[in-house]
Amino acid sequence: MRDASFTAGSGSAHLNETHDPALRSFVVSANRADAGFPIQNLPLAVFRSRLRGGDFRVGAGIGDLVLDIGEMGASLAAECGPAVQACRGVSMKALMELGPVHWARLRLGLSRLLREGAPCQREAEQHLHPIADAEFLLPLKIGNFSDYLASMHHISKVIRVKRPDHPELPQSFVWSPIAYHSRASTVRASGYGFARPRGQAGGKALYTKVDVSDDDSVKGMVRQTLARFGRVDGLINNAAYFREVKLTDFDQIDPAQWDRIFAVNVKGTWQCCKAVMPAMREQGSGAIVNIASVVAVAGQPGYLQYVASKGAVLSLTKGLAKEVGKHGVRVNCIAPGFVLTDATRNRPAEWQQSFLKARALSREQQPDDLVGTAIYLVSDLAGFVSGQTIVVDGGHIMY
């Protein structure tokens, strides 16, 4: 942390006692000649123990261990109190906002706590965790950043993509460093991979069979996802019960089918949202996209059990968006029109034609027609969109 090692309260940039090369720690691995984190270093990170679990906290690296700073408040000087309290959060934002004086006080307190012969050694040892058994988060949430064109080759490639009509390199690019604005969609803590969109090198996928109406099955899906990728950035609730639904008068609907539809379409959506929320809450970000139906917006006779379930999904989306927005989680909904799939091909031809004729874009709707809207809603491009329903039906329903 820059400027955190000057004399606390002095306003001077001179190094203080924490940089004395003669200092040694009771953590043996910190005293080795090749130690990356000697007591003179003490880098900070947001971590938690994989073995013990719990909340992510701010810790300090020492040798091959990391100290949970938030647990050491009673052992540090009183002037370290505000910084220790800030270290109990899941990011370094609160600590950064305190400023250099508090950073320096915390660094000095940690240095004295971790030295050979420190009076609180035994207590500190109880809150040291092996770095090898720790998992880490980014210390701060990165929304976007500016990057610099790194070479003439890089600049030329960018120009050819951005301005194919004028591919020649402007003189301003030749003589001046040029920056461009970027989104940090794949910035992760060191040592962690990430899944790129399909078609990009290095993409990974995980397949798991899930019954969304079974809470244990849903939780298992999320556990496998976290074990493989370390986080959950987006959830699209697309599972639905529809194939077996036939055109039926509302007073002739089988109660068992009514219950099954609501167990999958409504309870299943709720259970999936519930299962990913701890990870999203911990990250301070996430995007959920629920798939409803245009029939929930416009109504449709003969399929009341399905229409009612998708209407419930619309309402669930709005209520959940209000509830989880404080955690940085967005919840939106897509209402597709009549999409041509294996589950809908057996519908009455006149019903299919009624949708086709009513559309501004008079063609059959394919599953791929929903992809662009779904990608938009889970991406940072929709970073200020929540609680909304987007109808994707080729211009049938307009409002």
> What integer pLDDT is reported at residue 200 of this predicted model?
40
Positions of the chain with pLDDT under 70: 1-15, 142-204, 342-348, 351-352
Which pLDDT value is given to residue 169? Answer: 61
Rounded to 5°, the CA angle 38-43-46 comes to 135
Nearest to 305 by CA among 251, 261, 355, 352: 261
Here the tokens at position 364 are 């059959």
Written as six digits, the tokens of 92 are 């370094």
What local confidence, expressed as pLDDT, does residue 138 receive? 84
Instruction: Give the Cα separation of 101 and 3 in Å (integer).
Output: 9
Kindly name the residue from 192, 241, 303, 306 that is annotated as catalytic: 306
User: What does the pLDDT read at residue 345?
Assistant: 65
43 to 60, 67, 110, 113: CA distances (angstroms)? 6, 10, 11, 15
pLDDT at 251: 85
Confirm whether 17-137 and 215-392 share one CATH topology.
no
Q: CA end-to-end span of the chain, whole Å?
A: 52
Contact 100, 94 (CB under 8 A): no
The pLDDT value recorded for residue 14 is: 53
CA dist., res. 58 & res. 1, Å (int): 13
Name the percent of the chain lying above pLDDT 70: 78
Are residues 51 and 85 in contact, defined by beta-carbon separation less than 8 angstroms? no
Question: Are 36 and 29 contacting, i.e. CB atoms less than 8 angstroms apart?
Answer: no
Half-sphere exposure of 129 (CA within 13 A, CB side): 26
- Residue 394: what pLDDT? 85
Query: Cβ atoms within 10 A of the Cβ of 45, count?
Result: 20
Is 180 a known active-site residue?
no
Domain 215-392 is of which CATH architecture?
Answer: 3-Layer(aba) Sandwich (3.40)
Task: Enumerate the domain spans of the chain.
Answer: 17-137, 144-183, 215-392
Q: Which region, left, alpha or beta, applies to residue 117 given φ > 0 means left and ψ of -120 to 50 means alpha?
A: left
Cα separation, 257 vs 249, whole angstroms = 13
Tokens of 394: 């080729």
* φ and ψ of 145, to 5 deg: -160, 170
DSSP secondary-structure letter at 76? S
Is the pTM higher than 0.95?
no
Q: What superfamily does domain 17-137 belong to in CATH?
A: Fumarylacetoacetase, N-terminal domain (2.30.30.230)
> CA–CA separation, 319 vs 235, rounded Å?
17
